[in-house]
Amino acid sequence: MSTKSAPTNLEIVPPIILNEDADIVAYPSIEALVRDVELVDVLNGQYEFHDSTGRVLEARIDKQKIILTPTSKVEADSAELRGYIAQVLSLRGTVDGRLADASFGDLARLLLEKSAKHR
């Protein structure tokens, strides 16, 4: 299975965050992410994708390839998304005080670090 990002003026900035019903995982690249997801789950809309800026990534399948396209929608200030990330980080031993004031990019990088340790 291969992957690519569709050409746009917007850039995808890793790590890539996968949200499956509040189960949040970060990946260092699109290629790493597609090794863990199933095409049928992408087709069924089971995942939400963001990059480290909080930008929403739209997923589609083309010729058995997952294509992530950056959208203009950014959810870096989403209390819900930040809460999901904070919850996962807390469960993996990160002290809450460190999370409240962290930038979204810092949360994404910390999540990537913790995700790598749990795979």
DSSP for 31-76, please give it.
HHHHTTS-HHHHHTT--EEE-TT-EEEEEEEETTEEEEEEEEEE-T
Number of C-beta neighbours around residue 118 at 10 A: 9
Which pLDDT score, from 0 to 100, does residue 19 have?
Answer: 96
Mean pLDDT of the chain: 88
Share of the chain above pLDDT 90, in %: 71
Which pLDDT score, from 0 to 100, does residue 118 have?
Answer: 61
Share of the chain above pLDDT 70, in %: 88
Residue 70's Cβ-count burial label (10 Å; 0-12, 13-18, 19+) is buried
- Judge contact between 6 and 48, C-beta under 8 A: no
Convert the pLDDT of each residue in 40-95 to its tens digit.
Answer: 999 999 999 999 999 999 999 999 999 999 999 999 999 999 999 989 998 888 87
